[in-house]
Amino acid sequence: MTHYRVALAMIGVSIFVVCGQWSGRAAAEVNVDVGPVHVHTGGQPEPPPEIEILTRGPIHEAFAQPVILDEGAEFVIDRRPPPPIDEIIPDEKPEGNHIVWIPGYWSWDSDRNGFIWVSGCWRAVPPNNSWVPGYWAQTSRGYRWIAGFWTAADTEEIEYLPAPPATLEEGPQGAGSADNIWIPGCWVRHEGRYAWRRGFWEPARPNWVWEPAHYVSTPRGYVYVDGYWDYPLHGRGVAFLPVYCPPSLYGRADFRYSPDIVLDVDGLTLNLFISPERHHYYFGDYYGAEYSREGFHPWYEAHDHHDWYDPIFVHQQWRHRDDHDWVQHEREGYDHRRDDKDLRPARNYEAMRAQVARLPEKDRRGVQLARPMKEVVSDKATPYKFDKVDAKTREASANRAKDVHAYQDQRAQWESPAAGPKKGVEPKEGTAPREGVAPKEGRAPANESPSVAPKMGAEPREGVAPREGVTPKEANAPPKELPKPPAKEVMPPEKVQTPEHGAVGKDQPAGAAAQPEKVKIPKPPVSVREPVSNKELTPPPRPEHPQPDLKAQPKPSKPDAPDRSKDRDSSDKDKPEKDKPEKDRAEPARK
**pLDDT by 10s per residue, the chain, length 591:** 444 443 434 444 343 333 433 333 333 233 344 444 555 555 444 445 678 999 999 999 999 999 999 988 889 999 999 999 999 999 999 999 899 999 999 999 999 999 999 999 999 999 999 999 999 999 989 999 999 999 999 999 999 999 999 999 998 988 778 899 999 999 999 999 999 999 999 999 999 999 999 999 999 999 999 999 999 999 999 999 999 999 888 888 888 999 999 999 988 999 999 999 999 999 999 999 999 999 999 999 988 888 999 999 999 999 999 999 999 999 999 999 999 998 999 999 999 999 999 988 888 888 999 999 999 999 988 889 999 999 998 999 999 999 999 999 999 999 988 766 554 444 444 444 433 333 333 333 333 333 333 333 333 434 444 444 444 334 444 444 444 444 444 444 444 455 554 544 333 334 444 679 999 999 999 987 555 567 778 899 999 999 999 988 888 765 544 444 334 343 444 444 444 444 444 443 333
> Which SS3 state, helix, strand or coil, does residue 89 take?
coil
> CA torsion, points 452, 145, 557, 446, in degrees to nearest 10?
30
**What is the identity of the amino acid at 485?**
P
Separation of alpha carbons 23 and 26, rounded Å? 8
Alpha carbons within 13 A on the beta-carbon side of 69: 25
> Which SS3 state, helix, strand or coil, does residue 435 take?
coil
Contacting residues for 348 by C-beta, under 8 A, at least 6 apart: 52, 53, 54, 55
Residue 267's pLDDT is: 87
Tell which residue, 341, 344, 270, has the closest CA to residue 312: 270
CA diameter of the chain: 95
Tell which residue, 474, 471, 469, has the closest CA to residue 460: 471
261, 372 Cβ separation under 8 angstroms: yes
Residue 103's pLDDT is: 97
Q: What angle do CA 500, 506, 508 make, to 5 degrees?
A: 75
137, 463 Cβ separation under 8 angstroms: yes
**What is the identity of the amino acid at 348?**
N
Q: Which residues, in sequence order, are bridge partners of residue 116?
A: 107
Query: What DSSP assignment string belongs to 52-68?
Result: EEBSSEEPPTTT---EE
Cβ atoms within 10 Å, residue 363:
12
Tell which residue, 540, 544, 591, has the closest CA to residue 128: 540
522, 410 Cβ separation under 8 angstroms: yes
Residue 364's pLDDT is: 86
> Which SS3 state, helix, strand or coil, does residue 489 take?
strand
Separation of alpha carbons 282 and 369, rounded Å? 13
Cβ atoms within 10 Å, residue 367:
23
